[in-house]
Amino acid sequence: MNDTFDYIMRFAIVVFSYCCAVLAVGWFLAAILFRNLGIDSMMNDFVFMANDAGVGPFWAETSFWSSVFVSGFVMATIAGGFSFIPAVIIIILAEARGYRESLFYCVAGALIGLAAAGAAVPFSSSSGLPEMSIWIAATTGAGIGGGFVYWLLAGRNAGRLLSRPTD
């Protein structure tokens, strides 16, 4: 039997799951850091420019969700850039060893989030401890959420192709 299609499908599932996990991380970070990053004021500038179209009352009711949705894609791009190499290593390890526990993916996501927070420290413009602790907590929580999303989509079946009996 030729298993080429099975391996291609598994690879597609892993890539799709990683993209969904990164998108979940981006939306989580955008929601948690909504006020700290100034996303609300940035999005309000666009609304005031478009106020001639009469979108002001609509924006007042939906500003949080609209801001999180739009800025979530930006945060997902940043999170994907910081987490790609560590996530590939974790995914290869999990597929080779057949780790299927959600705890493994959540702890790995938390460690990747901590590493991303540590990597972002030199680029930080603020030297205050409260801002940094919020950033560390947010990236760690986002990593846990991203690891859980990846486990839901692909991690539960990790290593099944390697451990099935041959004909």
Q: pLDDT for 53-100, tens place per residue?
A: 555 555 556 667 777 788 888 889 988 988 999 999 999 999 888 888
Domain count, the chain: 1
The pLDDT confidence band at residue 136, using thresholds 50, 70 and 90, is confident
Place of tokens 């705890």: 103
Q: What is the number of residues in the chain?
A: 167
The pLDDT confidence band at residue 141, using thresholds 50, 70 and 90, is very high
Say if CB 134 and CB 36 are below 8 A apart.
yes
The pLDDT confidence band at residue 155, using thresholds 50, 70 and 90, is confident
Q: What is the pLDDT of residues 4-57, one digit of tens each?
A: 888 889 899 999 999 999 999 999 998 888 767 666 565 555 555 555 555 555
Position 42, amino acid:
M
Q: Which domain holds residue 94?
A: 4-163
List the structure tokens of 72: 């979530």
Q: What is the pLDDT of residue 41?
A: 60
